[in-house]
Structure 1
Amino acid sequence: MLRSYDIDVRRMRLVQYEDNAVYFVEGSSGKDPGETALYMLRISVRDGRSPAEQNSELDWMAALVADKAVTVPAPVATRSSGKVVTVEEPGWPEPATAVVFEWIPGRASPPYGRPRVAGELGAITARLHEHASGFRPPAGFVRPSWGHADVFENGAAMTDPTARDRLREDERRTLREVCAAVRERLPEQSAADWGVIHADLHRGNLVGTPDGTVAVIDFDDCGWGFYMLDVATVLSSVLRTCRKEPGAYDRFAEGYLDGYRSVRELPPAAARFDEFLVMRDMIILNFVLGSRNAAVLSWGPQRAQGILRLMQNYLKTGEYDGHLSLAS
């Protein structure tokens, strides 16, 4: 696959394999063969995004790089100036697609308790949304939607036979009731609330770089959605990490939201924050229940049970784990 790129590969190693296979690549570029260059190769081999969807993902990332909105991995063009390579490899049952990015060095999941980290992550989220609000997609731009119907009614937990078989009848009933409750409480889509979002902005996709900035990686799920879904995703991921430390989540949330507001006001939909926490966990539930990946299935069932318990409590109280009283 890398023959399509102007890269002389010296070594590569697998970093992650869930939906995609992600490799760290060390080599040099044809432009400067004497200098070591670092890249990330992402290969989609099963149920991945289409080439058109991946091209659109890279269009937004390239715009973020060009506009210096936030630090993101810069897409690397092929020898023919394309962005997505489609190839057939011996032993693979279907064509695979590959994209290459410049590698961003640093540490994923910046420590939530370190001074200024919360505010910086909030400001980065806001800058991402500020850019999205003015982004004019090029012709042929196609990305998934993360609205209510996409996440709940048409998600794997409600439609995939494999996923449904992993649930008891009372659990399926819980999901139907949660689906109806969130549908009733979510606001209408509006320009102030809805645009292109990252859609998987958990701590692991935020990288503290050696120069002291924070980069955003892994735009594979980016698409149309409520800006508050990104906010809920960050805060939910921090909550899972710090819940045993009294007061840590509230302190982080306060700093994070202050950082966001330093760039732009919270979207009006912030008033329904609990529903976005539920939506985030429903996305995880869809991923886990619909997965056939052995690594996911090693941790997924326990995570799914925890989410279902939280959803049952949400139906009783109207509040979800990580609840905050927010207003725009």
Structure 2
Amino acid sequence: MSHFPVTSSILSKTHLNNLLVEQYNLPQDSQTSLLKAGVNHTYLVKSGDANLVFRLYSLDWRTLTDINEEIRLLDFLNDSSITVSHAVKDAKGDYIQQLEAPEGLRYGVMFTYVEGEKLHNSPEELHYKIGALMGQMHVITQNLKIDRVTYTPKVLLHDPLEALKQYLQPGNELDFMQSAQKHLLQEIENADTTNIRTGVVHLDIWFDNIAVSKEGAISIFDFDFCGNGWLCLDVAYYVLQLHSLERDQAVCDSKVKNFLEGYESVTPLSAEEKRLLPHLGVALYFFYLGVQINRFDNWSNTFFNEAYVKRFVTVLVKRYYDMYLLTETTPN
């Protein structure tokens, strides 16, 4: 065996830069640097006076169909005047690069770079504008369908809990997650779907995937989790993140109010969609905890253990669940 097999690798930025210069016909003095390594590896490409972003997908994370559908969605949104980071073709007119990494074939896509800052602590008026932008996007993606994942109860709740059992021994935390799952599944099953809009969702809109320019223009990027589902999933996730980031309850409530008002200045939320927001928020906690578990090798971390999972369940999931008194209607 000449090389020991690996499950995840970080490619040489020097050699990747050489490849990108050749494939995209970039200036020879272009520079590529790693911004973030996770399920995807994100590189900043400085090319003359312009910046680009190259996303390198982890092994078996997305199929060619998944990636092509994301690219198609981004082109559609960009053509519809929604400011997003969209894919860039190489010199041959192709969007997707195929790289033979040590672990196997990995795909890569170059994206436009959106100017602006990620604002961890944003003023209330900005949340109104973000809500309006999400509303505009949903008007465009309502009733649209792409050939990617559909966010069903199985994807959001069933599969993550099965994965979670690898890290949680029987006890209070697992008992809570099983009880919460049962309640959430019942709420989703009993939902009045005639008053719930469906279409294509981003599923990861929060401050880390939003850029705000000095002039106040807002851009959305990283549609890696885009798929089909209830549009209010995006709303629920943003509200969830506000609760996670803003610990002052009065300030948090005001920001949530501004965000929802901004959204409804463009398109209304039905009473049923509003009712379901906290339930769907908790369901998304389940989903993303499942992602962390199932893609453990990509994070290369030492903190992901039973103690971490217990804190995640208690400090984040259960706190948000109890905040809306969902326990009062949890079935026995």
**TM-score calculated relative to the size of structure 1:** 0.83
Corresponding residue SS for 1:81: coil
Q: Distance in 2 between matches of 1:313 and 1:40?
A: 36
| Residue of 198, 211, 223 corresponding to 2:227 | 223
Q: Residue 108 of structure 1: CA displacement?
A: 1.1
Provide the C-alpha distance between the structure 1 equivalents of 2:73 and 2:227, rounded to a whole number of angstroms.
10
- 2:21 counterpart of 1:17: no
Per the TM alignment, residue 219 of structure 1 is displaced from its structure 2 partner at its CA by 0.4
What's the C-alpha RMSD, in Å, of the aligned pairs? 2.6
- The match for 1:164 is 165
The C-alpha deviation readout for 1:248-280, integer Å capped at 9, x for no partner, is 111101111110110000144222222111112
Q: Any residues of structure 2 matched to 1:1-328 within 5 Å, and which?
A: 1-2=19-20, 3-8=22-27, 10-28=30-48, 36-68=49-81, 70-89=82-101, 92-109=102-119, 111-112=121-122, 114-133=123-142, 135=144, 141-155=146-160, 157-158=161-162, 160=163, 163-170=164-171, 171-186=173-188, 187=191, 189=193, 192-243=196-247, 245-267=248-270, 268-290=272-294, 291-294=296-299, 297-298=302-303, 304-309=309-314, 311=317, 319=325
| 1:288/1:300 contact within 8 Å kept | no
Partner-residue secondary structure (3-state), 1:165: coil
Give the gaps of 5 or more residues in structure 2.
Answer: 1-18, 328-332
Q: Distance in 2 between matches of 1:51 and 1:25?
A: 23
In the superposition, relative to structure 1, how do residues 41 and 307 fare at CA in structure 2: closer, same or farther (>3 Å)? same
2:303 maps to a residue whose letter is: S
Moved more, 293-302 or 165-174: 293-302
Partner of 1:15, secondary structure, is: strand
Q: Contact 1:189–1:226 (CA<8 Å) still a contact in 2?
A: no
Deviations 1:110-147 (A, max 9, x none): 632x2511211111111111111164x5xxx4211222
Aligned-partner residue type, residue 91 of structure 2: R
Aligned length: 301
Please list the CA deviations of residues 220-256 of structure 1 after superposition, one character each: whole Å capped at 9, or x if unmatched.
001012212111211221222211x241111101111
Distance 1:115 1:189 in 2: 31
- Segment of structure 1 superposing worse, 166-175 or 51-60: 166-175
**What CA deviation, in whole Å up to 9, does each residue of 1:275-299 have, x standing for no partner?**
1111121122112333234455537
- The amino acid that maps onto 1:262 is S
Which SS does the other structure have where 1:8 is aligned? coil
Q: CA deviation at 1:7?
A: 2.6
Secondary structure at the counterpart of residue 272 of structure 1: helix
Q: Distance in 2 between matches of 1:103 and 1:191?
A: 37
SS of 1:120 mapped into structure 2: helix
SS at match of 1:204: helix
Residues 13 and 122 (structure 1), Cα distance of their counterparts in 2 relative to 1, 3 Å cut:
same
Cα pair 2:167 2:305 within 8 Å, conserved: no
Greater displacement, 291-300 / 229-238: 291-300
Taking the aligned partners of 2:120 and 2:212, their CA distance within structure 1 comes to: 6
- d(CA) in 1 for partners of 2:324 and 2:50? 51
Report the identity percentage: 18
Report the CA distance shift for 1:311/1:211 in structure 2 as closer, same or farther (over 3 A): closer
Q: Deviations over 1:203-232 (max 9, x none)?
A: 211111233211111100010122121112
